[in-house]
Amino acid sequence: MRSTSAWIARRRGWRLAVAASVVTLTTCAADRVEADGFTGTAVIVHDGDTVSVRTARGLVRVRLEGIDCPELAQARGREAKAFTEHLVIGRDVRVDTHGLDQYDRVLGRVFVNGTDVNAALVRAGMAWRYERGHEDRVLVDAERTARAAHEGLWADANPEPPWQWRREHDVGADRPSPHASPAHGETSDRVSLADARGPFHGNTRSHVFHRPGCPNYNCKSCGETFLTMQSAEEAGYQPAGDCLKK
C-alpha cells in the first residue's frame, strides 16, 4: 500500500515537472521571438510593411521595423503590398527582432536570401524611413537613392506620408461605414461600431471586416481574424457596411 502511494506521489511529481518544463520552454520560445530573432516562412502579406511568418511555434505577425509604407487606401499602397509579396511570400525568411509594437506585433528586420526587405522597400520608393530614434545609415542611404532616382512614391508630385494620411483620416478610431444609411422608412440590422464585439473576420479580397452575426461573417475570402476593430483597421481593413455602422 505504501509503495503504491509512493508511486502515485512520484507520478504526480513527474507530471508537475513536465508541466513546468512546458511552461518554461514556451516562455523561452516567446523570449527568443522577441529578443533573438527567428526564422520561418512568410505566408501572408497584410500590407507593404506587415507580414505573417509561419514558425515552428505558430504564426507570428511582423511589423517591418524602421519603415512606413503607404496605407492600402493610399496611392502606392497596393503597389507596396505587391512589392513585399514578390519578395517574401512563400519564402524562408530570417527576422531580426526589435521588441513589440503597441499592437503586440513583432518589430523586425526581415531578410530573404540575404536581401534586406526593409531597405529594399525604401530603395524602391515603396516606403518612408522613420526619422525618429537612431539613424539607420542603410535606410538613410536607401531613401536618398530612391529620391534621387524618383523611384516609386518619389515620382509623385506631392507624396503624402502614411502617418499624416492616418492622422487626417483618423485611422484606428471608429469610422463611419462607406455605405449609405437606409432610406427613410427602411430598417437596418447594422450594429453600432461602439457596440460591436469580435472576433472579426476580414475579407482578404475586399479588405472589409465583419462582426459575428453578419451575413458575410464566414465568407469564402474571410481568411483573416482580428480580436479588435483597432487591429483590423491597423491592417488596412474597413468595417463592412451591411452590418457595422457609426
Active site amino acids: 63, 71, 105
Residues 6 or more apart in contact with residue 166 via CB below 8 angstroms: 71, 172
Closest CA to 69 of 130, 112, 23, 19: 130
